[in-house]
Amino acid sequence: MIARDTGKDALQQGADYRTLREYNHLLVLNSVRLQGPAARVALAQLTGLSKTTVSSIIDQLLQDNLVTEGDFIDAPASGGRRPILVQFNEDIGLVLGIEIRYSTLTLITTNLAGQVKSVWNEPFDFTTPPQTCLAMLAAAIRIFMARADLQWDHILGIGVGLTVPIDTRTRTLLFPPGAYSWDGIDIAAFLSQQFQVPVYVDNNANMAALSEGRYGTGKPFSDFVYITIGKGIGGGLIRNHQIYHGAMGTAGEIGHLQLVGDGPLCICGKHGCLETLADNGAIIDDACAGRSLARVAPRAGVSSRLANADIEDLDINDIIHAAESGEMSARLALQQAGRYIGAAVAIMINLLNPEVVILEGATVRTGRYLLEAVQEESARHTLPAIWPATKIIAGQLGDLAVALGAATVVIDAAFAITPATALAEYPQQVNNPTA
Ligand SMILES: [Zn+2]
């Protein structure tokens, strides 16, 4: 005897069909978005769906204005006729990407292909109490939206990259060095309550690693280590084109690899972490004091230009230029930092076997001494079997990498097929720290 369908089962079946329908729509849309423009036939091959199913989905996507279809000028001609191709309508929405540093704020908008549409930088003070700081952040976002003449109904969401670790389990800041009153604060909840859009927050190095992988030198690679050298040293891991967070979200924190047991005190409370030995501040300090120079040539002196300079007035570009114009203390300081970073890079390569290690920062972008030293030192410590297949290269995206990565996280979530990363990231209960 065959049981009759109960109403409940029919409803369940309806839900399953809807899920399948949504899944197929996203599958086709993502194929157009990431691999298009493409012909309907090609999309059927890419997705494994029938031509009829793909055609009916494309018709719906055309109606929703999510794709356009036509004879695109830049498409390769075949048999004398240009094919009719389906193309993602990347300008149907915008995304807000934000980078919060200790003293500056960068806001950008991108379209849904990650193309930057507007940029704004302004001074910021992340060391002020969270109540003041969050109010300043919300005000800056409102001013940016007004200046760029943007409406909230065009904004898919906000991504935020911060110079501190984020606990991915709770989305809160994890004991931010130098800003301890922020511990446990949920910036995403605050912003989504203010602006009624989904908000995603992550560490700045993770965000920069993601954008370098999508749009920069990391594009050909699925697994890489990303290291950013500036005020501190940050790291992000990309595994299968996505950020690898680890259990709590702090995976890749290469700056806190302890390289010298009795080294300088780090902001994390330990001694001799990589960033105390090789970040921009450490390099400036070494060059002006002539420490590396004294080891190599004890009687040689630092040029009066560096020795007499007020260290607060120097930035890393002064040291890079001094090194390039022959100042030995500057050159040796950059090389010494490069050796420390190289030793840490070798540990990462031996542990993770990435295809490539991408370095970012002024010392890599405009100078050669640090990168050369990183390559030499990591070659010395890396397993000989994997060294020839591992590349160490410079990043490409520079100052916008973090904000662009933050925007990319929003785009990825908006088109994610798996429920875990789907758009519905609205917090049900918002803990408003300014209330
Ligand atoms: Zn540390």
Range scoring the smallest mean pLDDT among 17-21, 132-136, 192-196: 17-21
Q: Which of 221, 165, 248 is nearest to 352 (CA)?
A: 221
259 CA to middle of ligand 1, Å? 10
Q: What average pLDDT does the segment 238-247 reach? A: 94
Is there a contact between 277 and 257 (Cβ–Cβ < 8 Å)? no
The string of pLDDT tens digits covering residues 211-241 is 999 999 999 999 999 999 999 999 999 999 9
pLDDT of 381 > 70? The answer is yes
3-state secondary structure of 3: coil
Q: Which amino acid is at 133?
A: C
What does the radius of gyration of the chain's CA atoms come to, in whole angstroms?
Answer: 25
Could you tell me the two tokens for 231? 């005020």
Is there a contact between 187 and 173 (Cβ–Cβ < 8 Å)? yes
pLDDT, position 36: 82
pLDDT, position 17: 60
Residues with Cβ–ion distance below 5 A, ligand 1: 256, 266, 268, 270, 273
266 CA to middle of ligand 1, Å? 5
Q: pLDDT over 70 for what percent of the chain?
A: 87
Confidence of residue 308 (pLDDT cuts 50, 70, 90): confident
Q: What average pLDDT does the segment 92-112 reach? A: 95
255 CA to middle of ligand 1, Å? 7
Range scoring the smallest mean pLDDT among 33-47, 168-182, 283-297, 344-358: 168-182
351 CA to middle of ligand 1, Å? 20
Q: What average pLDDT does the segment 336-364 reach? A: 97
Q: In whole numbers, what is the pLDDT of the chain averaged over residues? A: 87
Q: What domains, with CATH codes, occur in the chain?
A: 12-88 (1.10.10.10), 94-209+403-421 (3.30.420.40), 217-396 (3.30.420.40)
Is there a contact between 51 and 42 (Cβ–Cβ < 8 Å)? no
pLDDT of 209 > 80? The answer is yes
268 CA to middle of ligand 1, Å? 4
pLDDT, position 11: 47
Tell me how far the alpha carbon of residue 435 is from its chain's centroid.
31
232 CA to middle of ligand 1, Å? 9
324 CA to middle of ligand 1, Å? 30
The string of pLDDT tens digits covering residues 133-149 is 899 999 999 999 999 89
pLDDT of 131 > 90? The answer is no
282 CA to middle of ligand 1, Å? 13
* Highest-confidence segment of 18-32, 296-310, 339-353: 339-353
Confidence of residue 313 (pLDDT cuts 50, 70, 90): confident
Q: Which of 46, 14, 7 is nearest to 27 (CA)?
A: 46
pLDDT, position 22: 82
Range scoring the smallest mean pLDDT among 325-329, 338-342, 352-356: 325-329
233 CA to middle of ligand 1, Å? 10
177 CA to middle of ligand 1, Å? 10
277 CA to middle of ligand 1, Å? 10
377 CA to middle of ligand 1, Å? 21
